[in-house]
Amino acid sequence: MDEVILLLVEDDPLVMCLSTDALEAGGFKVIQARDGCAAITMSDDKASCISGLITDVGLGHGLTGWEIAAHARERFPQMPVIYATGGNSSDWPVYGVPMSVLVEKPYAARQLLTAITELLSA
Model confidence band, residue 2 (pLDDT cutoffs 50, 70, 90): confident
54-82 residue pLDDT tens:
999 999 889 999 999 999 999 899 999 99
Q: What share of the chain is helix, strand, coil (3-state, %, to 5)?
A: 45, 20, 35
Q: Which of 26-30, 76-80, 85-89, 111-115 has the lowest mean pLDDT?
A: 85-89
In the chain, where are the structural domains located? 5-121
Backbone φ/ψ region at 60: left (φ over 0), alpha (ψ -120 to 50), beta: left
Among residues 104, 102, 99, the alpha carbon closest in space to that of 119 is found at 99
Mean pLDDT of the chain: 94
Overall CATH class of domain 5-121: alpha beta
**HSE on the CB side for 61, CA within 13 Å?**
0
Cα–Cα distance measured from residue 22 to residue 79, given in angstroms and rounded to the nearest whole number = 21
pLDDT tens digits for range 11-24? 999 999 999 999 99
